[in-house]
Amino acid sequence: MSDHLSGTRALADPAIDLTDLFAFPSPSQAGRLVLVMNVFPNARPGALFSDAASYRFRVRPASVPVRDSGSLFDVGTDEFALTCTFSAPVGPGDGGEPAQQGTCVLPSGESVSFLVNDERGGEGHGVRCYAGLRLDPFFMDVAREVETRASRRLAFVPKGINTLEGADVLALVVELDVARVFGAASGSVFAVAAETVTAGPYPVRLERLGRPEVKNILMSDNGVDTANRVVDLRDLYNEEDPFRLGPSYVDAYRARLNANLVFFDGLDGKADWTTQPDGTHPLTELLLADFLVVDAAKPYAEDSYFEIERALLEGREHASCGGRSPNDDVIDTLYTLIVNAGHGPRVSDGCDATVPASREFPYLAPANPNPPQQAATIPTVAASQ
């Protein structure tokens, strides 16, 4: 499920469990970029952010090589970090629940304060922030996806069941003026990642997130990775810097992706991707550069996920904003990509957003006041064959 429950650490503390990351141009105001980080899967009324963690958006200017298929994005070391922290809860507040104060520190060192669950959010220095309980925007037929990997056949049906229907999450929304916050010379194309880290002078990375389903699908254990049949790679992967993988486990990540991508390519009975003689899949290195790529100068779109990456693979200029918006059907896009490379019919799990996100701040739909009881151990890893 996107990045829900993506490792033992996430299961132990849902308040630091990143579930989704979105990055998209403002639908209504040119020159503004919207960043959304969701945490705490299956949150209940009264759920709050951790006062022992920092929630950080990391944004780096990126350039896209044109007419050079197979190359990677050029992402430098210049970085704009927006770090949000939360106070210990006090209260109860006006709604009878504990109250919590949030603060977002901008790249300039300036800060914006806001109250959790206050629809107005906080605003200043070219930035508007919101944090609070919202309806989980992710949609997916989890059971059919897990069955697909376990049975080694496409098990999706035309009318799928959205496993996350009615579930809530804690959302952190930051909308910013690109030129004011990042500087006029920053360009318009950015690599975006999110992470939760321990608070304090020596932060330890707890979770990190770029693209959806990298950990729970693409790095899942499907019994085809002969290099590693024992270790769940997700906790190790969560500890990595999104922009610089360490040397210790990168070969394990590559081996898992290479094996799984060939596995997915064969689900329709034919091969649409050509691997190198050493087994390297064309998508592996691109996916290991695990961040969203968004062009803030392009118009808002709800069907542009992975379009900039596809353009890079094909050696053409990108046509859309890329990134990811809440209503974008990333499961259909992902499965179509890895199963038939876009050369065949769209592979769909048969699900759409039950309650679509809006085009107005804070974008995500209001929380369900009576969310269903969801099992904290919904399977995301298929049984080894």
The confidence score (pLDDT) of residue 231 equals 86
Phi, psi of 324 (to 5 degrees): -160, 125
Model confidence pLDDT, tens digit, residues 178-228: 999 999 999 999 999 999 999 988 999 999 999 999 999 999 999 999 998
**Cα gap 134→149, rounded to integer Å:** 30
CB neighbour burial string for 107-125, b if at least 16 within 10 angstroms, e if fewer = beeebbebbbbbeebbeeb
CA distance 220 to 213: 9
CA distances from 144 to 154, 162, 350 (A): 8, 10, 10
What element of type H or E holds 115?
Answer: strand 111-115
Tell me how far apart the alpha carbons of residues 284 and 297 are, in angstroms, rounded to a whole number. Answer: 28
339 confidence band (pLDDT: 50, 70, 90): very high
Q: Are 366 and 357 in contact (CB under 8 A)?
A: no
Tokens encoding 11: 């299961």
Report the alpha-carbon distance of residue 291 to residue 72 in Å, rounded: 12
- Model pLDDT for residues 281-311, shown as the tens digit of each residue: 999 999 999 999 999 999 999 999 999 999 9
Higher-confidence residue: 38 or 7?
A: 38
Task: Give residue-wise pLDDT tens across range 37-96.
Answer: 999 999 999 999 999 999 999 999 999 887 665 568 999 899 999 999 999 998 776 667
**Terminal Cα distance for the chain, rounded:** 21
The pTM assigned to this predicted structure is: 0.95
- Return the structure tokens found at 131: 């944090």
Tell me the pLDDT tens digit for each residue of 305-321: 999 999 999 989 999 99
Q: Return the pLDDT at 148.
A: 97
pLDDT at residue 384 greater than cutoff 60? no
CB 42 within 8 A of CB 316: no
Share the mean pLDDT of the chain: 93
Contact present, 132 and 118 (Cβ < 8 Å): yes
Q: What is the Cα–Cα distance from 87 to 297, expressed in whole angstroms?
A: 35
For the segment 112-124, the average pLDDT, to the nearest whole number, is 97
Indicate if the pLDDT at residue 373 is higher than 80: yes
Measure the CA–CA gap between 47 and 92, rounded to whole angstroms.
13
| Dihedral sign from CA coordinates of 212, 213, 216, 221 | negative
pLDDT at 380 over 80: no
